[in-house]
Amino acid sequence: MSDFMDKCEVECIHPEKVVRVKENSLNTEEVLGLEDIFKALGDGTRIKLLHALSQEEMCVCDLAEVVGMSQSLVSHQLRVLRNLRLVKYRREGKMVYYSLDDEHIIKLFTQGLAHIRHR
């Protein structure tokens, strides 16, 4: 695609829009947090884990079976997701069960999925 299609033909700054948007800019901490979340979501295994957990709470053994990986590898991926507060866990005896952390994560995942399914 040529640059012509991607640029304005004349330079015309709209100061009121620029000021409004700059006033609502993300701070550095917010940018870095979003960057980390989207990096985590850029991994196929973690996407599969989130998809499984969007359906129901599951133990690490079951998640390993779903994604076809060892519990050790799944546990490592879950730790990444847990550190970003995308998933949470609870211990029940010798079992560890994971679920999506909150409604925001469920919405983020389901809306992303809906977006790609309705192209």
Does any domain span residue 30?
Answer: yes
Stretch 19-28: mean pLDDT, rounded? 95
pTM of the entire predicted model: 0.82
Does any domain span residue 2?
Answer: no
What CATH number should be reported for the domain holding residue 71?
1.10.10.10
Does any domain span residue 29?
Answer: yes
| Tens digits of residue pLDDT in 59-115 | 999 999 999 999 999 999 999 999 999 999 999 999 999 999 999 988 988 898 899
Please say if the pLDDT value at position 36 is more than 80.
yes
Q: What is the pLDDT of residue 4?
A: 66
Long-range residue pairs from 72-81, CB within 8 A, at least 24 positions apart, any chain: 73/45, 74/45, 74/49, 77/43, 77/45, 77/46, 77/49, 78/49, 80/40, 80/46, 81/40, 81/46, 81/49, 81/50
Structurally, how many domains does the chain consist of? 1
Does any domain span residue 38?
Answer: yes
Does any domain span residue 4?
Answer: no
Does any domain span residue 7?
Answer: no
DSSP tag of 1: -
Does any domain span residue 102?
Answer: yes
Does any domain span residue 26?
Answer: yes
Q: What is the pLDDT of residue 92?
A: 95
Q: What is the pLDDT of residue 3?
A: 59
Query: What is the extent of the structural domain holding 31?
Result: 13-117
